[in-house]
Amino acid sequence: MIEKIIKTEDEWKKILTPEQYEVMRKRGTEAAFSCQWKRLGKGVYHCAACDLPLFRSQEKFESGTGWPSYFGPVVPENISEQKDLSFGMERTEVLCARCDSHLGHVFNDGPPPARIATRSVAGGPTGKRYCINSVALKFKSEK
């Protein structure tokens, strides 16, 4: 079980940039194709608010949507999902499991699984597309 981090909105405003606050705390969305980083090498993408490891670089793929896309989290326990009915759509919202920051959404149109299992041992494609706002992540390179 992940220990929750709970802060007031004023505390989050001191930690996050205005754009991060809008996306992560107010459930906004950054503009498509606005990601400041493209290929950063091998490493792990962490929650920009609480530093929880969320996605590995080897699970990142080019979806053509304009947002960073991943086919699975580092471990399922590090993210939570909830139904999102905003804007007249039914989607699945992805949140950081530790600080409840909005990360993006998950869709069932990602790369198809290479095996019958939901996820291969090597972390292969799952059929999922975790469409994540880049401002919600910070990259830590593996050395």
Residues annotated as catalytic (active site), given as ranges: 131
- pLDDT tens across 17-48, in order? 999 999 999 999 999 999 877 767 899 999 99
pTM, full prediction: 0.88
Among the listed residues 13, 56, 19, the one whose alpha carbon sits nearest the alpha carbon of residue 36: 19
Domain ranges of the chain: 9-36+44-141
Percent of the chain beyond pLDDT 90?
Answer: 68
Distance CA 133, CA 101 (A): 11
- pLDDT tens across 74-98, in order? 999 999 999 988 888 889 999 999 9
CATH superfamily of 9-36+44-141: Peptide methionine sulfoxide reductase. (2.170.150.20)
Question: Is the confidence at residue 123, as pLDDT, over 80?
Answer: no
